Amino acid sequence: MPVAPSLAPQALDPHQARALLKALAEPIRLQVIEALGDGERCVCELTEQLGLAQSKLSFHLRVLKEAGLLADRQSGRWVYYRLRPEAIEQLRGWLAGLAAHCTTPAEPCC
């Protein structure tokens, strides 16, 4: 089903794509993304699930949030994190653009 133009994700420029890919390049951050793929999680749940110290997890959560991949909310003393689906869709669209043109043959040389 096509996405309505007003709801279509904005295209990523190469700089934004590199920032997202750099944030995802760290294996621990990929584990965080995978854990959040099942829905919003409290930091305490993530530390237990991933077996990380809170300080180490907080560093990686900050990197992912600054890259635009995560959103958070505070409830009392707990902070809950969730994926930003629009950021994932933007990255998916950027990769799809690469895939659509990667088999284009080169122009003949002089």
pLDDT digits (tens, 9 = 90+) for 8-28: 557 788 889 999 999 999 999
- The answer to the question of residue 59 being in a domain is yes
Q: Among all chains, which residue has been given the structure tokens 């809170």?
A: 54
Q: 34: domain range?
A: 13-101
Rounded to whole angstroms, the Cα distance separating 91 from 87 reads 6
Q: Which residues, in sequence order, are bridge partners of residue 37?
A: none
- Spell out the residues 6+ positions from residue 39 whose beta carbon is closer than 8 angstroms to its own: 82
Q: Among all chains, which residue has been given the structure tokens 């530390």?
A: 47
The enclosing domain of 33 has a CATH number of: 1.10.10.10
How many separate domains does the chain show? Answer: 1
Q: What is the model's pTM?
A: 0.81
pLDDT digits (tens, 9 = 90+) for 60-103: 999 999 999 999 999 999 999 999 999 999 999 999 988 888 88
48 with 23: CB under 8 angstroms? no
- With a cut of 90, say whether residue 40 has pLDDT above it: yes
